[in-house]
Amino acid sequence: MLTPAILTRVVGAALEEDAPWGDLTSTTLLPVEATATADLVAREPGVFSGGEVFATAFALTDAALIVDLHVGDGDEFSPGDVLASVSGSARSILTAERVALNFTQRMSGIATLTAAYVHAVEGTGARIADTRKTTPGLRAFERHAVASGGARNHRYSLSDAVMAKDNHLAVLKRSGADLATALRDALSLLPHTTHVVVEVDRLDQIPAVLDGGAHTVLLDNFSLDELREGVALIGDRATVEASGGVNLDTVRHIAETGVDVISVGALTHSARALDLGLDLRID
């Protein structure tokens, strides 16, 4: 997802936002010939994500800067570990510092929280997935961080899959449409590669969804007993996804009901930025 075009566009916009007319402090106080080396240092343990983004922030600021990544996305680290280094013009390093840190701290925070969820369901067969509850404009970055943490990505956008949620079903019901028939009609219009997901909030909705040919049935805010009933009812006719009420205290219990996928909005909307610092060494 982090293509060169996305990296350049988004990171470039962040740099322009932070220094629209240049870095006034660095250009007025620091000698143009001053050089330095800065280390990206972990202040707390976590899982790293955003190395390419970190490097891009410095490259777009000054192509002469040299960035060395000492860990890869998905690697665990401890307090005091040096995760990356950048060397070259002191002015350029300090100009890009905040943007590089903002992205890396945010992405590593998401990766770290995601890894905790993945670890919590180990051995159950359930997969952790993210949602579209991402920061506008930063979805590719946050989705990349989720993958760094070991989870799967859900549909990237509204254009990637059919996902009928409660509001869609309410409109269909209001119009008098039969759900199974509406799903079959939709499938007849779609390429055979397009995945169809239908969200239900009651067990009695499941038969119509299965009759309509949905590939995934999303059980939303079901109790553990209801999840087990839903899994038994669906069997191998569709993938079973669970959502709603998912946190680190509940996710293991949800996974043990036999669902295939657990989607967690908190991976992106509630992750805190990790404490990383850029420590400067004057050459």
The most distant pair of C-alpha atoms in the chain lies apart, rounded to whole Å, by 74
Catalytic residue among 39, 52, 81, 199: 199
Six-digit token string for 91: 């002015």
- Which of 98, 132, 155, 252 is the catalytic position? 98
Q: What is the pLDDT along the chain (283 residues), one digit of tens a residue?
A: 899 999 999 999 999 999 999 999 999 999 999 999 999 999 999 999 999 999 999 999 999 999 999 999 999 999 999 999 999 999 999 999 999 999 999 999 999 999 999 999 999 999 999 999 999 999 999 999 999 999 999 999 999 999 999 999 999 988 988 999 999 999 999 999 999 999 999 999 999 999 999 999 999 999 999 999 999 999 999 999 999 999 999 999 999 999 999 999 999 999 999 999 999 987 6
For the chain, the structural domain boundaries read 4-118+271-282, 152-263
Choosing among 1.20.1070.10, 3.40.50.10860, 3.90.1170.20, 3.40.630.30, the CATH entry for 4-118+271-282 is 3.90.1170.20
Instruction: Confirm whether 143 is a catalytic residue.
Output: no
Confirm whether 17 is a catalytic residue: no
Candidate list 18, 178, 211, 220, residue with the active-site label: 220
d(CA 179, CA 281): 64
Compute how many other C-beta atoms are within 10 angstroms of the C-beta atom of residue 48.
Answer: 30
Which superfamily does 152-263 belong to?
A: Aldolase class I (3.20.20.70)
What are the helix and strand counts (H, E) for the chain? Answer: 11, 12
Selecting among 132, 165, 237, 252, the annotated active-site residue is 165
In the residue annotation, 211 being an active-site residue is answered as no
- 173 assigned to active site: no
What global pTM score does this model have?
0.94
Separation of CA 272 from chain center:
13
